[in-house]
């Protein structure tokens, strides 16, 4: 009996031990390939069983298997599943999932110069929208409209195609840095962004990351409000493509085709996209049409080197929307366009009514060559060389006795070349160092000419440079291809104004980052020099001899530092601070286009920007939250007003010493309560004011200071005024629910409050009424084959579902009238304003192969 008992004990012990030994623990981190970021709520299933786990908000997972070996299937809705083998306790490391649409498995080339937040362990205030969401929600909108559901972001749609505006923490696009694959794309002359030039960016965007405040960029750029990183497609790992057709309100239609060869055995790849769009525009008389093209050629000779050549452009033309009083919009409707030329003989409008008041014509392609070199396990070098030969014109109808006689072109062309390079070295396990350079060479050409003759066949003009009286007999055309290939280099065929600007920029930057255990910290700095020269042609005083201004050099720099501490797996805190000494824009230094190449006197000094922000991040399996507080001081800024009337003794004002203080708090919450449901929300509370008054200097047509005359006051009363243009309090809720496999519905609500009119250097900003809008969408994806390589996607978007009527922006400070009928919601109807779009829609059908 005793022996039997021992035997049974040994059998039981053997079985238990065997089972215990057979158990395996499988761990890993699920990564989103598009942005190299953690992918939360991914499903990890042991193949052939119901045993599973989910990844947390940092992408980490742990799965316990009763088997000693086997396979796990890692999947996520909208991504291609991956099957991985395990043997015993196994750490799978990083498992990368890619979107299962036709633009999946994208490789970022030039990643060393694309400053994404995930590349630095010290956090910043950041929000990211990826290719799948851009594809669904982009529709026929400009990029700012896609980003409006982010904290402290407001989109103003303006009037015509490509005229959208974006505000970030109360700063307009001039003071938000926009980067395309690491290269700056704000205008070198004035810092502005014209979405007409970039209307095709949503077609080729892999992801867009909005970094609020100081951001992660190492360049000495104009990121007062923040930085927007646009990352485009480069190399696709596999062969495939798509055909897409979109229709939308106001007769809008867009056709797009894309194809990629994938990477060949020898490392070559090729991808191309072509698109065409046209439409009448939401605002009356703002019809337009354009194309989009994108070409990418990649070569990876070995594991250490990757090269990519990219060319993209969006030639287009669109009629413009004129401004008007609030009263005129109320009388004529939200689609009212003051530039409708009702009084012009309809039979003589330019090219059968293609304008009618004027049209913007642009073709500004961008090309870049990227090279990533992995030198060894610890160091790498990334370099991007880029160039743009941009051509653009505003063609305006010139009338006589009710007839349009010709189209006058106001041309803004440029040749722009640059280089960004960055060397990165992992010095030790906890210390990383990188250093780089940024060089830009810009030549701007500005002149007026004839774009199209209608009734006359020549236009007379006079200038000393052209020998006195002369005639313009050549027309440059009113389509983007004519503007690009016939830029009119003959000074004798220009009139009104004709000058060039040469702006050169050279800078170095570097960063040192420390990370060990729960603590991370960084220090970053950049030093740059920017030079300016202006050359006058038309208004030069000697025949055939141009006049060149003195050369101006301005040094600028920035310093940034930050630290973060990980309290636990779920809690992290951080602090960042920075100081910018930012060079003035070219247009701030020189007189405008009315015939003077002299510097404004006194010369403008650098602007001073100081930023401070603290943040807290929380992350659990179902909830993730970011809480940020910021304080930004923008000091010594300059305002320019070139609106002096003919006959006055001055044409421009320069307001110096303007100071703005922007502070606020942002809360962003992302939840995933169920596998098929996402609910996100945010609220931003801002307080943006002018601090102190500005000092006004007035200049006559020759650039002489006339401030001491009785022409103008010397003080701009700004102290305590609210900064206008964007809502200081915003909030939003968005949700997405997949109620059937690959069949989902989504909606987002946005609320805007504490808005004020844009007063420039004036005073008494008006408080505007709050408003809110609701957008919704429906998506369905039909799989056409077993391996999911072919599919049909359907998407519908409805924006401003409830057709909310709201004032989007107001310029002016006329107080409310004592007569109620002369006001609109407390705002005097005499003020210039613009109403937001009413209900709009778009429908897309896409075939992926």
- pLDDT score of 564 more than 50: yes
Tell me the two tokens of residue 708: 């001491």
Residue 78 pLDDT class (50, 70, 90 cuts):
low
- Same topology, domains 2-97 and 235-848? Answer is no
**Ranked by mean pLDDT, which of 52-56, 171-175, 692-696 comes out on top?**
171-175
Give the bridge partners for 503, in sequence order: 442, 532
- CA-based angle 76:79:82, to the nearest 5? 80
**Which residue in 426, 421, 431 sits closest to 379, CA to CA?**
426
When the pLDDT of each residue in the chain is averaged and rounded to a whole number, the result is 85
- pLDDT score of 104 more than 70: no
Q: Give the residue-averaged pLDDT of 288-312.
A: 92
Lowest pLDDT segment from 169-173, 397-401, 459-463, 708-712: 708-712
Within 13 Å and on the Cβ side, how many CA atoms surround 233? 33
**Which residue in 68, 232, 49, 21 sits closest to 134, CA to CA?**
232
Lowest pLDDT segment from 129-143, 412-426, 558-572, 812-826: 129-143
- pLDDT score of 556 more than 60: yes
Tell me the two tokens of residue 629: 């507080």
**Ranked by mean pLDDT, which of 63-67, 201-205, 681-685, 691-695 comes out on top?**
681-685
List CB contacts of 822: < 8 A, sequence separation 6 or more: 327, 828, 829, 830
pLDDT in tens, 499-538: 999 999 999 999 999 999 999 999 999 999 999 999 999 9
List CB contacts of 13: < 8 A, sequence separation 6 or more: none
Q: Positive or negative CA dihedral for 595, 597, 601, 602?
A: positive
**Ranked by mean pLDDT, which of 159-173, 403-417, 575-589, 742-756 comes out on top?**
742-756
Strands (DSSP E) contained in 403-551 are 403-426, 431-453, 459-463, 468-472, 495-516, 519-536, 547-548
pLDDT in tens, 230-247: 888 777 767 889 999 999
- CA-based angle 570:573:574, to the nearest 5? 145
Whether a cis peptide bond, with omega within 30° of 0, leads into 602 is: yes
How far is Cα 619 from Cα 668, in angstroms, rounded to an integer?
A: 12
Q: Give the residue-averaged pLDDT of 550-569.
A: 92
- Per-residue pLDDT at 107: 53
- Cβ atoms of residues 625 and 615 within 8 Å: no
Residue 592 pLDDT class (50, 70, 90 cuts):
low
- pLDDT score of 639 more than 90: no
- Cβ atoms of residues 190 and 586 within 8 Å: yes
- pLDDT score of 102 more than 50: no
Q: What's the 3-state SS for 506-536?
A: EEEEEEEEEEECCEEEEEEEEEEEEEEEEEE
- Per-residue pLDDT at 595: 46
How far is Cα 2 from Cα 382, in angstroms, rounded to an integer?
A: 75
List CB contacts of 544: < 8 A, sequence separation 6 or more: 465, 467
- pLDDT score of 762 more than 90: no
- Cβ atoms of residues 344 and 402 within 8 Å: yes
List CB contacts of 297: < 8 A, sequence separation 6 or more: 268, 269, 270, 308, 309, 310
Residue 707 pLDDT class (50, 70, 90 cuts):
low
- Cβ atoms of residues 598 and 534 within 8 Å: no
Q: Give the residue-averaged pLDDT of 52-56.
A: 83
Tell me the two tokens of residue 214: 């100081």
How far is Cα 460 from Cα 466, in angstroms, rounded to an integer?
A: 12
Q: Give the residue-averaged pLDDT of 274-297.
A: 92
Class of domain 2-97: mainly beta
Give the bridge partners for 679, in sequence order: 671, 735
- Per-residue pLDDT at 740: 87
**Which residue in 566, 473, 587, 450 sits closest to 515, CA to CA?**
566
Whether a cis peptide bond, with omega within 30° of 0, leads into 356 is: yes
- Cβ atoms of residues 422 and 434 within 8 Å: yes
Lowest pLDDT segment from 147-151, 184-188, 519-523, 647-651: 647-651
Percent of the chain with pLDDT over 90: 49
**Which residue in 560, 580, 558 sits closest to 513, CA to CA?**
560
Tell me the two tokens of residue 502: 């040469």
State the residue for tokens 């609910």: 679
Backbone φ, ψ for residue 271 (5° rounding): -140, 145
How far is Cα 351 from Cα 397, in angstroms, rounded to an integer?
A: 11
Q: How many residues does the chain have?
A: 849
Backbone φ, ψ for residue 331 (5° rounding): -75, -35
Residue 320 pLDDT class (50, 70, 90 cuts):
confident
- Per-residue pLDDT at 54: 82
The residue ranges of every structural domain in the chain are 2-97, 106-232, 235-848
State the residue for tokens 């239609």: 253
- Per-residue pLDDT at 67: 86
List CB contacts of 372: < 8 A, sequence separation 6 or more: 109, 110, 111, 112, 305, 306, 307, 380, 381, 382
- Per-residue pLDDT at 597: 47
How far is Cα 129 from Cα 273, in angstroms, rounded to an integer?
A: 21
Residue 701 pLDDT class (50, 70, 90 cuts):
low
Class of domain 106-232: mainly beta
- Cβ atoms of residues 67 and 78 within 8 Å: no
Q: What is the CATH number of domain 235-848?
A: 2.40.170.20
């Amino acid at each position: 009996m005793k022996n039997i008992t021992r035997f049974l004990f040994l059998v039981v012990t053997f079985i238990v031990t065997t089972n215990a030994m057979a158990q395996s623990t499988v761990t890993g981190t699920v990564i989103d390939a598009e942005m190299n970021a953690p992918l939360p709520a991914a499903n990890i299933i042991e193949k052939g069983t119901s045993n599973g786990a989910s990844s947390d908000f940092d992408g980490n997972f742990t799965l316990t298997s009763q088997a000693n070996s086997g396979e796990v299937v890692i999947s996520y809705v909208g991504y291609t599943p991956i099957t991985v083998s395990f043997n015993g306790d196994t750490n799978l490391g990083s498992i990368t999932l890619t979107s299962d649409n036709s633009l999946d498995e994208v490789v970022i080339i030039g990643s060393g110069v694309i400053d994404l937040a995930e590349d630095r362990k010290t956090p910043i205030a950041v929000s990211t929208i990826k290719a799948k969401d851009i594809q669904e929600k982009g529709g026929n909108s400009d990029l700012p409209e896609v980003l409006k559901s982010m904290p402290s972001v407001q989109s103003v749609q303006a009037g015509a195609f490509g005229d959208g505006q974006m505000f970030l923490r109360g700063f307009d696009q001039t003071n938000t840095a926009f980067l395309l694959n690491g290269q700056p794309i704000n205008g070198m002359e004035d810092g502005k962004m014209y979405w007409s030039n970039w209307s095709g960016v949503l077609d080729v965007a892999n992801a867009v990351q909005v970094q609020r405040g100081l951001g992660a960029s190492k360049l000495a750029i104009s990121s007062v409000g923040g930085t927007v990183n646009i990352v485009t497609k480069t190399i696709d790992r596999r062969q495939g493509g798509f055909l897409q057709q979109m229709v939308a309100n106001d007769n809008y239609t867009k056709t797009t085709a894309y194809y990629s060869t994938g990477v060949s055995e020898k490392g070559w790849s090729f991808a191309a996209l072509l698109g065409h769009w046209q439409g009448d525009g939401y605002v009356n008389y703002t019809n337009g049409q354009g194309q989009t093209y994108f070409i990418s050629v990649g070569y990876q000779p070995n594991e250490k080197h990757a090269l990519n050549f990219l060319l993209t452009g969006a030639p287009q033309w669109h009629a413009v929307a004129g401004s008007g009083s609030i009263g005129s919009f109320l009388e004529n409707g939200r689609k009212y366009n003051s530039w409708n030329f009702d009084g012009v003989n309809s039979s003589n409008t330019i090219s059968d009514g293609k304008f009618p008041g004027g049209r913007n014509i642009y073709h500004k392609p961008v090309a870049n060559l990227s090279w990533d070199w992995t030198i060894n396990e610890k160091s790498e070098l990334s370099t991007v060389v880029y160039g743009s030969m941009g051509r653009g014109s505003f063609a305006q109808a010139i009338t006589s006795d009710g007839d349009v006689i010709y189209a006058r072109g106001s041309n803004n062309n440029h040749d722009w070349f640059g280089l960004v390079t960055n060397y990165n070295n992992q010095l030790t396990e906890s210390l990383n160092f990188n250093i780089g350079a940024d060089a830009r060479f810009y030549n701007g050409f500005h002149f007026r000419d004839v774009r199209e003759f209608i009734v006359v066949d020549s236009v007379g003009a006079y200038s000393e440079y052209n020998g006195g009286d002369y005639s313009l007999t050549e027309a440059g055309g009113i389509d983007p291809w004519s503007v690009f290939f016939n830029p009119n280099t003959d000074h004798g065929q220009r009139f009104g104004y004709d000058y060039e600007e040469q702006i050169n920029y050279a800078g170095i930057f570097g960063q040192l980052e420390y990370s060990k255990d729960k603590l991370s910290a960084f220090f970053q700095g950049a030093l740059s020099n920017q030079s300016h020269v202006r050359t006058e042609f038309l208004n030069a005083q000697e025949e055939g001899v141009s006049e060149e201004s003195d050369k101006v050099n301005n040094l600028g720099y920035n310093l940034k530092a930050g630290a973060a501490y990980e309290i636990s797996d779920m809690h992290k805190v951080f602090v960042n601070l920075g100081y910018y000494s930012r060079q003035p824009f070219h247009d701030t230094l020189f007189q405008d286009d009315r015939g003077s190449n002299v510097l404004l006197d006194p010369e403008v000094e650098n602007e001073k920007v100081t930023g401070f922000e603290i943040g807290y991040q929380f992350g659990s399996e179902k909830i993730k939250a970011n809480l940020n507080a910021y304080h930004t001081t923008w000091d010594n800024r300059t305002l320019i007003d070139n609106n002096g009337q003919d006959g006055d003794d001055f044409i421009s004002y320069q307001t110096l010493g303007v100071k703005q203080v922007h502070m606020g708090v942002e809360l962003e919450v992302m939840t995933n309560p169920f596998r098929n449901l996402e609910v996100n929300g945010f609220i931003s509370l801002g307080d943006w004011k002018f601090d102190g008054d500005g000092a006004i200097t007035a200049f006559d047509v020759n650039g002489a200071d006339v401030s001491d005359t009785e022409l103008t006051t010397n003080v701009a009363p700004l102290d305590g005024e609210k900064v206008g243009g964007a809502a200081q309090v915003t909030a939003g809720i968005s949700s997405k629910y997949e109620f059937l496999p690959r069949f989902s519905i989504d909606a987002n609500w946005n609320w805007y409050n504490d808005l004020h009119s844009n007063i420039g250097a004036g005073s008494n900003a008006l408080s505007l009424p709050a408003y809110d809008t609701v957008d919704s969408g429906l998506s369905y994806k039909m799989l056409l084959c077993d391996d999911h390589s072919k599919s049909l996607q359907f998407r519908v978007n409805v924006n401003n579902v409830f057709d909310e009527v709201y004032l989007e922006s107001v310029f002016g400070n006329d107080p409310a009238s004592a007569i109620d009928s002369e006001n609109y919601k407390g705002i005097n109807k005499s003020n210039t304003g613009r109403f937001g779009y009413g209900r709009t829609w778009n429908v897309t059908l896409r075939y992926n192969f």
